[in-house]
Structure 1
Amino acid sequence: MIKTKEAFTNEELAHLVFDLADASYPHGSPWTREQWQTDLALPHSRYFLWEQEGQLLGFLACHLILSEMEIMQVAVHPAHQKKGLAQQLIQALINLAQKAEVDSIFLEVRASNHAAKQVYEKNGFEAIGIRKNYYYYPTEDAVIMLKKVR
């Protein structure tokens, strides 16, 4: 079931998303618990949470600023990957974007993350550029992707 961040306190959710990101990303969570908590408190921050039987299995974090959205993070627990959870989280985001009359959604993704790029492409995102050496641990380029909503 998809929930929003309002179902938790920011401190609770910061711990949950940190732990999930740390387990899901090959190089651990890209943010500290404190960075997650700071992001959760931002007025333009939105979170979609996939919860099942009291367990957080996946999330999508984004920022909604004026007529644009930026996907900040998407994570699905390794035991639940390749089951369509990321697809459902992205679809929930696209539905919100349409309701909020957002013009476009963009994101950066590691150049080597072929599975994520494939899911984004399936949802209408297109590669529009490269950010050289954007990621660290290890250093890697980011592919900038964009989806026009309207």
Structure 2
Amino acid sequence: MGDDRERERERVLLAVLRVWPSSSLTPARTRAPLLSQSPMVNESRPSPSRVSFAAVTPNNLGTVRKLNSVLFPIKYSEKFYNDIVQPEVEDFCQLIYYNDIPVGTMCCRIEVQDGQAKLYLMTLAVLAPYRSRGIGSQSLKHLIDTAAAHAKPKINAIYLHVQVSNGDAKRFYERHGFKEVGLYENYYKKITPHDAWILQRDIEAVSGSEGK
């Protein structure tokens, strides 16, 4: 039953990609390899329609690949796809659905240093025809809430890189509580400008989540 549903969702996604011109699906800033920072800005019209999420699994990984091929100007490695289906990150690697249509992806990895766990936001993007509907904001809120409720390990912060030319993305994340904590010079090797802001939001654990 689950496999049949995923096949139907993938069929719907392919239909969407056929209907919309490729130019309308191209990310706003195709020079940046990490476009988690740009496709969901300018969300002035939050949508009342249903936004839902599902963990990335081997069953829906094909849908993730198709979405990423449209959303990002780079080809992700097999290691990337192997990593995002691991059980320990299933809460943080999610397909984004709009009225049961797969329209975006959100993937993080857990980094632990000196006993402190952080989430690194690798990708967060929504197909162009579905932007300006509040989907990016709802997705980011879902991630923040999930991180706050997570206890094993306890997540202390979420961070990401934003290309210094991408002021819209920086403002988007700042509206959701992220702050600039540093500048990574020459972060981007194949695009210009090479530098990236480091944005971070500290996470406060939800009361009672320690036992989860």
Q: TM-score normalised by the shorter chain: which range applies?
A: 0.7 to 0.9
Q: Which moved more, 1:7-16 or 1:114-123?
A: 7-16
1:7 shift after superposition: 5.9
Residue 142 (structure 2) pairs with residue 96 (structure 1) = no
Give distance in 2, aligned partners of 1:39 and 1:98: 22
Match of 2:82 among 28, 38, 62: 38
Q: Which moved more, 1:110-119 or 1:41-50?
A: 41-50
| Identity in percent | 24
Give distance in 2, aligned partners of 1:88 and 1:96: 12
Size of the aligned set, in residue pairs, is: 144
Match of 1:74 among 124, 133, 140: 124
TM normalised by structure 2 equals: 0.59
Higher strand share: 1
Residue 110 (structure 2) pairs with residue 60 (structure 1) = no
1:133 shift after superposition: 1.7
Q: Decide whether the 8 Å contact of 1:15 with 1:33 is kept in 2.
A: no
Q: Decide whether the 8 Å contact of 2:56 with 2:94 is kept in 1.
A: no
Give distance in 1, aligned partners of 2:146 and 2:178: 16
Which residue does 1:132 correspond to in 2? 185
Residue 94 (structure 2) pairs with residue 48 (structure 1) = yes
Give distance in 1, aligned partners of 2:202 and 2:145: 13
Residue 44 to residue 108, structure 1, CA distance change in 2 (3 Å): farther
Which 5+ residue runs of structure 2 have no aligned equivalent? 1-50, 205-212
Q: Please state whether the residue corresponding to 2:133 is helix, strand or coil.
A: coil
Which residue does 2:169 correspond to in 1? 116
1:38 shift after superposition: 2.4
Tell me the alpha carbon deviations over residues 118-146 of structure 1, each in whole angstroms, 9 at most, x when there is no partner.
11101100001111121244232111011
Q: Decide whether the 8 Å contact of 1:127 with 1:144 is kept in 2.
A: yes
Which residue does 2:69 correspond to in 1? 19
Q: Which moved more, 1:128-137 or 1:52-61?
A: 52-61
Residue 48 to residue 41, structure 1, CA distance change in 2 (3 Å): closer
Which 5+ residue runs of structure 1 have no aligned equivalent? 23-27
